[in-house]
Amino acid sequence: MKLSSAIAHRNIVIVGNPNAGKTLLFNRLTGLQAKTANYPGVTVDFREATAKLAGESFQIIDLPGLYSLDAISPEEQITRDFLTGAANAEITSPDLVLLVLDATNLRRNLFLASQVLELSLPVVVAVNVIDVARSRGIDVDIDSLSSRLQCPVVAVSAKTGEGIRKLEEQLVKATRSEELISEPLPSCTSGCKGCHFAARHDWAQKVICDSTSKVSSTSTVPFEMDRLLTHPVFGVVTFVLLMLFVFYMIFSFATLPMNLIDGAFTALGGWLREVIPSTKSRPAVWFGVVMMCATVCGLLICYAARIRFTTFRTLVLLAVATTVSLLPAKELQSLLADGVVTGVGGMLVFLPQICILFFFISLLEDSGYMARAAFVMERIMRCVGLPGKAFVPMLSAHACAIPGIMSARVIENWRDRLTTILVLPLLTCSARLPVYAMIASLLFLGSAMKAALVFVGAYLLGITAALCSAWLLKRTILPGEAIPLVIELPEIRWPSLRNALLTLVDRAIIFIRQAGTIILLISVFLWVLASYPQLPEKDAANILLQHSGENTAAQRLAQAEIEYSAAGRVGRFVEPVFAPLGFDWQINIGVMTSFAAREVVVSTLAIVYGIGEDAAENKTTLIETLRRQKRPNGSPVFTTATSVSFLVFFVLAMQCLPTQAVTRRETGSWKWAILQFTFMSCLAYLASLATYQLCCLWGLG
Amino acid sequence: MAPLSLSEITVPGLFTVVRVEGDGVSVIQLKRLGICEHQIIELVQIGNPAIVRVAGSRIGISRIVIESVYVEPYLE
C-alpha cells in the first residue's frame, strides 16, 4: 500500500466510525511503535506502525474515521481511497481490512459495514467496547453476526485488552488462508428503487435484530446531565469553566518544566562557549572534527525532516558542513550558542504546554465531551462564519499559537479549518507578554491598574482582530458559510489515560521534529543576519579603547556590532517605511530580529540602546533607559504615541517564524503561511500607522 | 396531515421522516446518520442547534439543516 515501510510487510488497515475506538485498538495492537505519516499531497495525517501479531510482522494503518464511503471530507476521502485503491498511484488495495464496530451502537456502525463488506476485500470485524455493551445488558451473538456479515468477527475491548489475542490470531489466519476470505456481501441496496441510505439502515436494523438481545443502547449518562452540557447557557458556562481549568493546569504544570528546559538550554549555550576553544590550535584536526559533526547533524536533520537524498542535496550538505568547518572558532561558538541553541531552545521551551494541552484535548475527545463543546459554541462562532469547534484552537492559541494551529484539526471542514489557522496568531500568546509588560511599564510605570488596562486592551484587540479577520476571510478569499452543524454526540464515557499519553507523545514528536529541522534552519539564518558583516577589528578596538575603564564597554561593542550587521543595515534601510509609525531605526532592528520569536525584541532593544542583554532582565533599568532615548531633533523616542503604536504592531504582527512553519505543515503549503504573514504584517502596519497618527493628532506624540 | 419541517415542531417527540430535501454535504451527513425516508427519529431538544435521537445515538443539528427534514408524527 504505500508509504514508508508498507512494501515490506502485509498491511492491515483499520477502518470504522468516528468514536468506534479505532485508535485505541490501533494503540493496543501496536503499542509505542506508531508514527504519524502524511498522505501524499494533502495534510491529512494517519498513524502507521509495524507490529508483530501472533509472531508475524504486519504494517498496520489507522485511517481517519468515517460514517460511510460517501466521503464528504478530505479525511473520509482518504479512507475511501485506501479501501478502493483509487486516486493515487502509490496506493494499492490493503491485504486485510480490520473493521471496528462499536458494540454499544451497532446499528450506526453497521451502515459503514454494509458498504465495506461489498468491496471484495478480505475483512475481519472487531466488535469493540464489548465490556461496556455487556454491562448495559447488550448481548451480541458473535457467531450469528459473523454469519450475517459473512466474515470473521471477534469481540474485543481495546481499553481492557479483552479478546485482543484472539483478534491477532484471527488477523494472521485471515491473511494466511485464502479460503477464509469471504465472498463480498451482496449489496443490501440491490433492487432498491428508493433511498439507498434507508435501505442500508433497514439492513442494519435487521442484522441487529438477528444478532443482539437489545436493539438499541441507551446512554448511561443521566439525561439531565447531558441536557446541562448542551444547554445554551449552562453548556457555555460549563465549557468556559472546563477550558479555564485546562489552561490553569497548563500554566501551573508547565511552568516548572519550561523553566527547566530554558535553564538547560542556557546552560548548554554556556557549556558550548567553554568547551569550544577560542582559537584553532590544530586547524586540520579542527576542520576534520567539525566537518564530521556538521555532516552527521545534517544527516540527522534530513532524516528527521524525511528529506530524500539526491546528488544536489548531498553537495549542498557537504558545502554547508565545509563552510561551518572553516568558520573562525569564536564564530562557531556564537553560531552554536546564540544561533542553534538559543533558537531551538526558544521553541522547545513551549513543549510542556503543548504536551499538557494535547493530553487534555485527547481526554476530552475520548470522553465524548468535545462534540458537546462544539455543539454549545456553534451559535456564537457562527456569527463570524466559523464552526463551534473553532473555539477550542482559539482558546489554545492564547497559550501559544502553535498548539492552537495543531489542534485546529478538530475542525473537519477544510475551509473552516484554514480560516481558523490563518487568524489564530492574532490572539495574544504568552510570548507577547514580555512586550506588553515593557510597554505597560513605559506608559504607566507605578500604576498597576493602568498597566493592567494595557494588557486587557491588548488581549481585546487580538480577539477582535481575529474574529473580524475570520469574518473578512469568509467573505473574500475563503467564501462560504461554515458547514452547518450535524454532529454525533457520542455517549459520555471514561477516557483512556493510555490513549491520551500516546497522543501526547505523538504530538510531542511532531513538535520536536519541527524544532529540529525548519526552526533550526531559521535560527541559523537569523543568526547570520544579526552577525554579518562583522564589525572591522579596527573599529571594535576603537570602541573598546573609547570606553576602556567603563563597565559598559562590552555593551557598546555589542551595540556597534548589531548596528553594523545586515539586520542593523536593514533597520536603517527601512527607517522611512516605519517612521510614520513612530519607529526609529533602532526599534526597526528589534522588529527585524524578532521575526523568529517576538519576545526577542526586549533583549534586542536592550542591546541596540546600549543596555546589554543581561540588563533586559532588570525591567526598571530597561524602562528608564528607553525613556531617556532621544531622536536626532531632541524629542523623546518612546512617547505615548510611539509606545501605543509599538504595542499595536506587536499585538497584530506575525512575528513568530515557528508559527509560520507549523502553518505550512498544517496547510500543506507555504502559500497560506505567506498569506498569513502578509495579511498580518499589513494589518499590523496599518493599525499601528493609524494609532500613531491619531495619537499625534491628539497631542500624545 | 401534511408533513411538517422538523424546524416547525414545537414539542419534542417521536416522528417518522417523510422526506429530506436537498443534496448538499449536510444532507448526506443526515442521511448516513439515519435521518432519511421512513426512519423513526426522536426530537429530544428544540433549539438551534437541536438534538435528535436516531439509530441509538444523539445528533446535534443546526436549524438551517433540520429545515430540510420533513416529518409526520410517529403512530405505533
Tell me the C-alpha distance between A610 and A629, whole Å. 11
Overall average pLDDT of the A659-680 stretch: 91
Instruction: Name the grid cell of A77.
Output: 476521502
Lowest pLDDT segment from A159-173, A375-389, A576-590, A648-662: A375-389
Q: With cut-offs at 50, 70 and 90, classify the pLDDT of residue A37.
A: low
Asked if residue A17 lies in contact with residue B29, where contact means CB atoms within 8 angstroms, the answer is no
How far the first Cα of chain A sits from its last, in Å, is 66
Q: Mind listing the pLDDT tens digit for each residue in A76-120? A: 888 888 888 765 555 567 889 999 999 988 988 999 999 999 988
- Which of A467, A479, A468, A243 lies closest to A374 in space, CA to CA? A243
Tell me the C-alpha distance between A572 and A553, whole Å. 23
Specify the pLDDT at position A461.
94
The pLDDT of residue A660 is above 70:
yes
Specify the pLDDT at position A127.
95
Express as a percent the part of chain A with pLDDT over 90: 21
State the pairing for strand pair A35-38/A45-53.
antiparallel
**Among A227, A389, A485, the residue to mutate for chain B (most B Cβ within 10 A):** A485
A452-A457-A463 Cα angle (round to 5): 130
Overall average pLDDT of the A122-146 stretch: 92
Specify the pLDDT at position A313.
82
Specify the pLDDT at position A170.
92
Neighbouring-strand partners of residue A630: A636
The pLDDT of residue A43 is above 70:
no
The pLDDT of residue A388 is above 50:
yes
Specify the pLDDT at position B59.
92
Q: What are phi and psi of A185, to 5 degrees?
A: -65, 135
Q: Which of residues 4-43 of B touch A (CB under 8 A)?
A: 25-26, 28-34, 36-39
Q: Which residue has the higher pLDDT, A447 or B31?
A: B31
Tell me the C-alpha distance between B76 and A376, whole Å. 33
Whether A67 sits inside 8 A of B29 (CB atoms) is yes
Distance from CA of A379 to the nearest CA of B (A): 7
Neighbouring-strand partners of residue B41: B15
A380 touches chain B (CB under 8 A): no
The pLDDT of residue A672 is above 90:
yes
Q: ipTM score here?
A: 0.93
Domain of residue B26, CATH code:
2.30.30.90
Specify the pLDDT at position A615.
54
Q: With cut-offs at 50, 70 and 90, classify the pLDDT of residue B24.
A: confident
State the pairing for strand pair B69-73/B57-61.
unpaired
What does the DSSP assignment read for A35-83? EEEE-TTS--EEEEEEEEETTEEEEEEEPPP-S-SS--SHHHHHHHHHH
Lowest pLDDT segment from A124-138, A562-576, B33-47: A562-576
Q: CA dihedral defined by A405, A410, A416, A417, rounded to 10 degrees? A: 30
Tell me the C-alpha distance between A680 and B8, whole Å. 44
The pLDDT of residue A404 is above 90:
no
Q: Which of B47, B55, B60 sits opposite A232 (nearest CB)?
A: B47
Q: With cut-offs at 50, 70 and 90, classify the pLDDT of residue A342.
A: confident
Specify the pLDDT at position A498.
85
Q: Cell 547533524 identifies what position? A: A297
- Which of A309, A141, A275 lies closest to A214 in space, CA to CA? A141
Specify the pLDDT at position A620.
60
- Secondary element (H or E) of residue A15: strand A10-16
Asked if residue A587 lies in contact with residue A639, where contact means CB atoms within 8 angstroms, the answer is no
Overall average pLDDT of the A346-373 stretch: 81
Asked if residue A521 lies in contact with residue A383, where contact means CB atoms within 8 angstroms, the answer is no
Specify the pLDDT at position B5.
93
Instruction: Name the grid cell of A322.
Output: 565545509
Overall average pLDDT of the B22-40 stretch: 88
Chain A residues in contact with B29 by the CB 8 A cut-off are 67, 72, 486
Lowest pLDDT segment from A15-19, A399-403, A537-541: A399-403
- Secondary element (H or E) of residue A607: helix A600-608
Chain A residues in contact with B6 by the CB 8 A cut-off are none
Specify the pLDDT at position A182.
54
Tell me the C-alpha distance between A610 and A699, whole Å. 29
Percentages helix, strand, coil for chain B (3-state, rounded to 5) are 20, 40, 40
Whether B60 sits inside 8 A of A67 (CB atoms) is no
Overall average pLDDT of the A492-503 stretch: 84
- Which of A133, A148, A20 lies closest to A79 in space, CA to CA? A20
Neighbouring-strand partners of residue A51: A58
Position A658: which residue type?
P
The pLDDT of residue A199 is above 60:
yes
- Which of A649, A528, A523, A633 lies closest to A581 in space, CA to CA? A649
The b/e string for A320-339 (b: 16+ C-beta within 10 A; e otherwise) is ebeebbebebebbbbbbbbb
Q: Mind listing the pLDDT tens digit for each residue in A437-481? A: 778 888 887 777 777 788 788 888 999 999 999 999 988 988 877
Cα A86 versus chain centre, distance: 29
Total domains present in chain B: 1
Longest CA span, chain A:
98
Tell me the C-alpha distance between A62 and A47, whole Å. 5
- Which of A38, A24, A120 lies closest to A75 in space, CA to CA? A38
Specify the pLDDT at position A3.
45
Q: Mind listing the pLDDT tens digit for each residue in A503-534? A: 888 778 877 876 677 667 777 877 888 888 88
Q: At A98, is the secondary structure helix, strand, or coil? A: strand
Q: Helices in A106-163 by DSSP H: which ranges?
A: 106-116, 130-135, 142-149
A233 touches chain B (CB under 8 A): no
B6-B9-B12 Cα angle (round to 5): 105
Range among A166-180, A238-252, A254-268, B7-21 with highest mean pLDDT value = B7-21
Overall average pLDDT of the A11-26 stretch: 89
The total number of residues shown for chain B amounts to 76
The pLDDT of residue A483 is above 90:
no
Whether A204 sits inside 8 A of B39 (CB atoms) is no
Overall average pLDDT of the A16-21 stretch: 87
User: Starting from the edge strand earliest in sequence, which strands make up the sheet with B69-73, in order?
Assistant: A486-489, B57-61, B50-54, B40-45, B13-20, B69-73, B4-5
Q: Which residue has the higher pLDDT, B28 or A610?
A: B28
Q: With cut-offs at 50, 70 and 90, classify the pLDDT of residue A6.
A: very low
Specify the pLDDT at position A184.
64
Asked if residue A155 lies in contact with residue A148, where contact means CB atoms within 8 angstroms, the answer is no
Specify the pLDDT at position A7.
45
Domains with residue ranges and CATH for chain A: 6-218 (3.40.50.300)
Q: Which long-range contacts (CB under 8 A, 24 or more apart) does A467-470 make?
A: A467/A384, A467/A423, A468/A384, A469/A422, A469/A423, A469/A426, A469/A679, A469/A683, A470/A384, A470/A385, A470/A386, A470/A390, A470/A419, A470/A420, A470/A423
Q: With cut-offs at 50, 70 and 90, classify the pLDDT of residue A41.
A: very low
User: Starting from the edge strand earliest in sequence, which strands make up the sheet with A123-128, in order?
Assistant: A35-38, A45-53, A56-62, A10-16, A96-102, A123-128, A153-155
Range among A40-54, A177-191, A225-239, A459-473 with highest mean pLDDT value = A459-473
Longest CA span, chain B:
32
Q: At A125, is the secondary structure helix, strand, or coil? A: strand
Q: Mind listing the pLDDT tens digit for each residue in A610-659? A: 555 555 555 566 777 788 877 777 788 888 999 999 999 999 998 888 88
Q: What are phi and psi of A647, to 5 degrees?
A: -65, -50
Specify the pLDDT at position A683.
96
Q: Which of residues 239-268 of A touch B (CB under 8 A)?
A: none
Tell me the C-alpha distance between B53 and A269, whole Å. 60
Overall average pLDDT of the A334-353 stretch: 79
Whether B32 sits inside 8 A of A227 (CB atoms) is no
Q: Within a 13 Å sphere around the CA of A623, how many CA atoms are in the beta-carbon half?
A: 17
The pLDDT of residue A496 is above 50:
yes
Task: Tell me whether residue A653 is exposed, middle or buried, using C-beta atoms within 10 angstroms of its C-beta: 0 to 12, 13 to 18, 19 or more.
Answer: buried
Which residues constitute the domain of residue B31? 4-73
Asked if residue A611 lies in contact with residue A625, where contact means CB atoms within 8 angstroms, the answer is yes
Chain B residues in contact with A486 by the CB 8 A cut-off are 26, 29-30, 33, 59-62, 65
Q: Cell 524544532 identifies what position? A: A515
Specify the pLDDT at position A224.
74
